[in-house]
Amino acid sequence: GIGEALARHYAAQGATLGLFARRESELARLEAALASTTVATYAGDVRDADALARAGADFIARFGAPDVVIANAGVSRGTLTDEAADLPAFRVVIETNFLGMVHTFSPFMAAMRAARAGALVGVASVGGFRCLPGACAYCGSKSAVITYLESLRVELYGSGVAVVTLCPGFIATPLTAKNPYPMPFLMSPERAARLMADAIARRRRFHVLPWQMAWLSRLLRIAPRS
């Protein structure tokens, strides 16, 4: 999905990559496809802070402080509060989408502060603006991510480390392939990666993509609660 598209985009620019994901087989496949690029892969779950700490320490020891750290891991589940069986799904979504981002950034903070450079990039969603029925765990987690990144941006003010919030609309990935409803302005992962990388390069504080979804999101934010 988005993570692989971003990896391929930055590899084409000659970047050194550190890739962290759950499926070791998928990491191996992508590493083989990027054979001309320096790639360090780490298999693990972003809910495991210790696993990310070990990966971050190894990457810094080998390559130094990163220029860009992108927290992109995300899952979605249909959830209803009145269904007790959905409570574990709430936990998985919140821990992956929100705490997973915190766990991703944490190992690199000291090195990036010392370098007084770099960008921490959080992939949120337009779903964080207004919630959809049955998606309260996903939309709630993305809303929390947006607020968290706002706070982190202020905390790092003057440090030289930028914080970029990316809010994509619908991207054609395995995650959205399961959606049983129309998805306006659907984008390919490759196009999304190009737009995201451009926003990161320009150190955009807050960026919604594509532009059509940016205008729609503005309308959603000011729409009456009724």
Provide DSSP, the chain: -HHHHHHHHHHHTT--EEEEES-HHHHHHHHHHTTTS-EEEEE--TT-HHHHHHHHHHHHHHH-S-SEEEE-------B-TT-GGGHHHHHHHHIIIIIHHHHHHGGGHHHHHHHT--EEEEE--GGGTSPPTTBHHHHHHHHHHHHHHHHHHHHTTTSS-EEEEEEE--B-STTGGG--S--TT-B-HHHHHHHHHHHHHTT-SEEEESHHHHHHHHHHHHS---
What's the average model confidence in pLDDT over 164-177?
81
Give Rg (Cα) of the chain: 17
Residue-wise pLDDT for 114-158, tens only, equals 999 999 999 999 888 877 788 899 999 999 999 999 999 999 999
- State the catalytic residues: 138
Q: What one-letter code names the amino acid at 168?
A: P
Q: What one-letter code names the amino acid at 65?
A: A
> Burial letters for 27-55: b for 16+ Cβ neighbours within 10 Å, e otherwise?
beebbeebeebebebbbbebbeeebbeeb
Q: Alpha-carbon distance 67 to 143, whole Å?
A: 26
Verdict on whether the full-model pTM lies above 0.75: yes
Question: Is pLDDT above 90 for 33?
Answer: yes
The residue count of the chain comes to: 226
Nearby residues of 38 by Cβ (< 8 Å), 6 or more positions away? 16, 17, 63
User: What do you get for the CA distance between the two ends of the chain, in Å?
Assistant: 35
Question: Is pLDDT above 80 for 218?
Answer: no
What's the average model confidence in pLDDT over 33-61?
97
pLDDT at 130: 78
Write the burial class of residue 22 (CB in 10 Å: 0-12 exposed, 13-18 middle, 19+ buried). Answer: middle
